[in-house]
Amino acid sequence: PGAFPATALEHGGPHFNGWLCVPSPLVAETVARAGFGSVTLDAQHGFATFTSIVDCVAAAALAGKPALVRLPLGGFGLGARALDAGAAGLIAPMIDTAADARAFSDAVKFPPLGRRSWGPNRALGLLGLDRPSYLARANELTLALAMIETELALSNVDAIAQTDGVDGLLIGPNDLSVSLTGGVAVDPGHPRVIAALGRVLDAGRRAGKPVAIFANSPAYASDYMRRGFPMIALGPDLGFLAAGAERTLSDVFDA
């Protein structure tokens, strides 16, 4: 559960990731057991802290699933710590330029790809690797996804995708809609966002790297599945809880 190599997204699929805002190990374990292939602990807009990341990585591991961490803006240092704590991968928001991509990769990949500092205190045990094997394999086993969610990122998408150490892209359709409409709309279904999807998928194909996407709803997730995205993140958990609560209550009247 401490590993998430990009090759895991090559066959079959799509891979569904459960996106978690609530910083609770019980929530992480429950969603990981509910059929999702992995979970994301969100430290940008969700409430994940380093302490909750440590606990939630362990809880996802109990369910046999890898945990990714979505970093706060520019929070690459937290990313390296999360990998030390056994996170299987990282998602960096608002990667707009090749320089942003390089800074991300520098912090979270060991040489020769980057300059990650040594200290995988729990990752060794979770992966069952000794120190030399972890050093040799960590770059390949831990997924680093760069979020494409602005007009500027779209204009640099090939350079971002081709940055060594960036293992794949993840589209943030909400921010992308805000950016592409100049702050007028937050709408993943906006025609400019839909038109951009193919452009990012093509850049991933050219770089030989997977393109994942966040889905606001099951309907968006189905659409993204038909478009061939190999990984779809669904959430957040508060939405699962609200939908389950509403359905449970309405079922009382339908029974």
Name, in order, each residue with C-beta under 8 angstroms of 238's C-beta and a sequence gap of 6 or more.
21, 22
Minimum CB distance to ligand 3PY smaller for 149 or for 223: 149
CB 139, CB 109: distance < 8 Å = yes
Least Å distance, CB 185 to Mg ion, is: 14
Binding to ligand 3PY in span 86-105, by CB under 6 A: 93
Binding to ligand 3PY in span 3-62, by CB under 6 A: none
Least Å distance, CB 94 to Mg ion, is: 7
The single residue among 96, 100, 167, 175 that binds Mg ion, judged by CB under 5 A, is 175
The single residue among 172, 173, 188, 230 that binds Mg ion, judged by CB under 5 A, is 172
The single residue among 120, 172, 204, 210 that binds ligand 3PY, judged by CB under 6 A, is 172
CB 87, CB 38: distance < 8 Å = no
What the block records as the tokens of 42 is: 């969100």
Stretch that binds Mg ion, among 119-127, 136-144, 170-178, 245-253 (CB under 5 A): 170-178
What the block records as the tokens of 96 is: 């707009």
190 a catalytic residue: no
Question: Would you list the DSSP string of 74-112?
Answer: T-HHHHHHHHHTT--EEEES---SHHHHHHHHHHHS-TT
Q: What is the CB-side half-sphere exposure of residue 191 using CA atoms within 13 A?
A: 0
> For residues 178 and 18, what is the distance between their CA atoms, to the nearest angstrom?
23
Here's the x/- map for ligand 3PY, 173-212, by CB under 6 A: it reads as xxx-------------------------------------
Burial 130-143 (b: 16+ CB within 10 A, else e): eeeebeeebbebbb
Residue 152: alpha-carbon gap to chain centroid:
20
Minimum CB distance to ligand 3PY smaller for 104 or for 214: 214
The single residue among 76, 214, 229, 240 that binds ligand 3PY, judged by CB under 6 A, is 214
Q: Which does 173 bind (CB under 5 to 8 A by kind): Mg ion, ligand 3PY, none?
A: ligand 3PY
- Asked if 237 is part of the footprint of ligand 3PY (rule: CB under 6 A), the reply reads no
Q: How many residues sit in the footprint of ligand 3PY (CB under 6 A)?
A: 7
What the block records as the tokens of 166 is: 């960036």
Minimum CB distance to ligand 3PY smaller for 79 or for 173: 173
SS3 of residue 12 by DSSP: coil
Binding site for Mg ion (CB under 5 A): 149, 172, 175
Binding site for ligand 3PY (CB under 6 A): 93, 149, 172-175, 214
- Positions annotated as catalytic residues are 45
